[in-house]
Structure 1
Amino acid sequence: MKALFTGIVLLLGSVATVSAQDYYLPVSSTSKAAVASLHRASELYSNIHFKEGKVELDKALAEDPNFFMAHVYAVQYAPKADRPELIDKALAIDATNFNEAEKIMREWIGKWKADSTAKAGESMNALIAAYPKTPQALEWASLHAFYTDKNLDGALDYAQKLAVISPEYAPNYNILGYLYMEKKETEKAKAAFEQYIKLAPKEANAYDSMGEFYLINKDYAKSAELYDKAAAMGLADAKERADKARAMIK
């Protein structure tokens, strides 16, 4: 399943896998529990566990109601109709002690408040310039380029750079797979989805995405097989997609 960012890393450093802590942009919250919940929410959202991710995000905000980056997540993943209220809550937080990442994201959601169709490219470029070795900066830039700005080339560039600096970060290969499919680069798309499965064999979404790849490429039997696996792993709506694929087998 294509990852949904419903508000929706120029990296010359080491290609070694970064630690979980080093993956994320800095935050000003002093609540360790809130930060830990936000990090869990981020991982869940990235693997398309939206319901579970929202639970963790709510925990983060319960621990620290003024946790600005948690509010940023809420804004970015919210349905469009809910976004204005959430933006207002985020912008109401005292920005006196914000770090540079928070200042950039505050400016960005301020642009969204003024214009719901505003492009994110300028803000994401500023984020990467400020944090050139922080993978999350590239992930957000890639997602916004893909979903907010409809800039496939920019999204692909960011995702490729993220794969260099954080090669073990599985969800990035899901985005890469869809980007390559959009650009009709079939073999690269297949390789990206295979890497997602390799790195995240217990994630139902990895098999669901591969099922979609085979569906688009008209291998309906293989598509149904992968959708069935995703359904068996708990992705309920994959069963409907499996049935659709089977119905297309001649």
Structure 2
Amino acid sequence: DLDWLREGLADMFITNFSRSKQLNVLSRQQLYHLIERGGHSQTDTIRLDDALEIARKTRAEVIALGSYVRLGEKIRIDVQLHSAQNGQPLASESIVADQPQDILAQVDLLSFKLAAHMGAAPEVEESRTKLDGLMTINLEAYRYYSLAVEKAQALHNEEAIALLEKAVALDPQFAMAYGRIGYAYAVTGTHAERSKPYLEKAFLLSNHLTEKDRLYITAWYSIAHLDYPAAIAPLRKIINQYPLEAEAYFRMGYLLRGERQHEEAVRVLKQGLVIDPEDKDIYNALGLIYLDINRYDEAIAAHQRYVELAPKEPNAHDSLGMSYQCARALPRGHHGIQPGARAQPAIWHRCLPPW
């Protein structure tokens, strides 16, 4: 079953291109969100017109579109590079893997060729570190990892962790799989203690990580230890070195809020919106920070935008209702909560007068 390669191949190329200091590459998570906002699922075929729209929103310069086909045991992979400005073809390359186990090595070769077409041929040091050295030599382990990332993006943490455990069982040297388990426990989950052994294992295998992944894992490890200033430092480096990483802006904004550095948090989140003007999570975070510093009109505006971007999410309506409540300006007929949704009493209480 090679259906997972629809997302898995994209992840492989993103990892490879990210090694070059001359390229800024959209992360798989950002790409997933942009495709979803365009009304597509991850299993849909993305046409050039759709890709051009994504490129316009992210100010990308080059688009890579590809396909694969299985012919017996062989797998052929074709990739075309297009100008993001007008869609004109820039280059195309293809490879044939004689068997599925050869895919990782062949994707390495194809990535180097494509990077050269983009004027980013790898330096000698970069070319020595291949995908199977950065991630895994085991294609089945990579399959579990790719499926786990998909589950994690949908916030299905338990399923993601189960798949990642299978990945590290097949390849005990799979550093990023350990890192992702730690992330699921400590960052998107609430089990910081459980995360620590996995993040420590990822550190021990840091020679199998890209520089960006090392920085992320450093931040996650600090979050697991509740050392938020230490977590902010690597996120700041990610923003400086990889400015398209919307996740870093969002995470850093929340951490700065926790450290009561509200003005810097606002500045960082606004930078994130320059990168991704439709990031609903950043608008929610921005609105909450404005509430903290009593800038109610701006909080309402941010949460109104959150509702516009995510009209079916109960939390969006909760956030907007909370902003109105804090501003003592709850509009008639708007209670901020959709049917079936539950507000968080502790959060609402701080906005109510002490009667």
Q: Which amino acid aligns with 1:129?
A: N
- 1:77 matched to 2:89? The reply is no
Unaligned 5+ residue runs, structure 2?
Answer: 1-23, 25-29, 36-133, 169-173
CA contact under 8 A between 1:127 and 1:137: conserved in structure 2? yes
Cα distance change on mapping 1:112 and 1:176 into 2, 3 Å: closer
CA contact under 8 A between 1:31 and 1:64: conserved in structure 2? yes
2:290 corresponds to which of 153, 165, 180: 180
Deviations 1:166-193 (A, max 9, x none): 0111111111111111122211111110
| Structure 2 equivalent of residue 97 of structure 1 | 208
**1 or 2, which has the higher helix percentage?**
1
- Report which of the two structures shows the higher radius of gyration computed on alpha carbons: 2
Cα distance change on mapping 1:33 and 1:89 into 2, 3 Å: closer
- 1:212 matched to 2:322? The reply is yes
Q: Percent identity?
A: 18
1:61 corresponds to which of 131, 156, 164: 164
Cα distance change on mapping 1:85 and 1:238 into 2, 3 Å: closer
Cα distance change on mapping 1:216 and 1:85 into 2, 3 Å: same
Cα distance change on mapping 1:195 and 1:112 into 2, 3 Å: closer
What secondary structure sits across from 2:187 in the alignment? Answer: helix
For residues 122-137 of structure 1, what are the structure 2 equivalents within 5 Å? 122-137=233-248
For residues 14-163 of structure 1, what are the structure 2 equivalents within 5 Å? 19-20=31-32, 28=135, 31-32=142-143, 34-42=145-153, 44=155, 53-65=156-168, 66=174, 67=177, 68-79=179-190, 82-93=191-202, 94-111=205-222, 116-119=226-229, 120-147=231-258, 149-163=259-273
Give TM-score scaled by structure 2 length.
0.50
Larger mean CA deviation between 63-72 and 126-135 belongs to: 63-72
Q: Matched residues in 1 for 2:226 and 2:239: separation?
A: 22
CA contact under 8 A between 2:269 and 2:282: conserved in structure 1? yes
For residue 125 of structure 1, report the CA deviation from its aligned partner: 1.2
Deviations 1:66-118 (A, max 9, x none): 51234224222343xx42331122211322210112211333355567x6445
CA contact under 8 A between 1:41 and 1:57: conserved in structure 2? yes
Aligned-pair RMSD on alpha carbons?
A: 3.4
**1 or 2, which has the higher strand percentage?**
2
Q: Matched residues in 1 for 2:246 and 2:253: separation?
A: 11
Q: Matched residues in 2 for 1:101 and 1:127: separation?
A: 7
Unaligned 5+ residue runs, structure 1?
Answer: 1-12, 45-52
